[in-house]
Structure 1
């Protein structure tokens, strides 16, 4: 999936403008970088469209926070409301799920609290 298609999918799923979807995608990927091990972050980065790869920072230390804090951080970085950020994070995760190998996505979800998987599974 190309970057423009990724952003279009996120914008449509979250009912956001293209610019809001771009900001949201970058912020969500940044937060994933904070939450994932270095190995999983690198693995995920290779599957993302080029413009998003730079947003996925590889960290030596994993931060431990749940979905609520994740959404709050995304909201603060983007200026979106919590409701918009929640829909946006869901949209980004679902779009990532569609574009990466199942194994890569399963490994990402395995490093996140179960509430992330529930969020993605409730969207079909």
Structure 2
């Protein structure tokens, strides 16, 4: 998926008003995901997303063990939004990333996340 397609998918899925805000949401989510993933998974993911957006991912994942609420809190802080919106945006980012990367890579990433992350990985729109 090209950068503008990924940004557009996140903008639509996350109900985000501008492409710039969608980019912030993507970078915030990828940064926090990179902190959560261990080893080279972050690098592998970076190799399959558009280069300018991949810059948000660390070369090697930190493997930090934090829960889903902390994930959303960190995304909100990096994105500069409320946690409720960060959840909606992060879910849109993950759905767009899932659609754009190798399915085997995505499934491997998912195995690193505990069951509570199912909310993040869900593909249904967030209802408020």
TM-score, structure 1 normalization: 0.92
1:35–1:99 Cα change, 3 Å: same
SS in 2 for 1:44: helix
How much is the aligned-residue C-alpha RMSD, in angstroms?
Answer: 1.5
Matches within 5 A, 1:27-42: 27-42=28-43
The count of aligned residue pairs is: 124
The CA distance in 1 between the partners of 2:117 and 2:22, in whole Å, is 19
The CA distance in 2 between the partners of 1:3 and 1:56, in whole Å, is 15
Q: Are the aligned partners of 2:41 and 2:60 in contact in 1 as well (CA < 8 Å)? A: no
Q: Are the aligned partners of 1:94 and 1:123 in contact in 2 as well (CA < 8 Å)? A: no
SS in 2 for 1:57: coil
Q: Judging by fraction of residues, say which structure has more helix.
A: 1
Matches within 5 A, 1:1-124: 1-17=1-17, 18-59=19-60, 61-123=62-124
TM-score, structure 2 normalization: 0.89
Which runs of 5 or more residues in structure 1 are unaligned? none
Offset of 1:27 from its aligned partner?
0.7
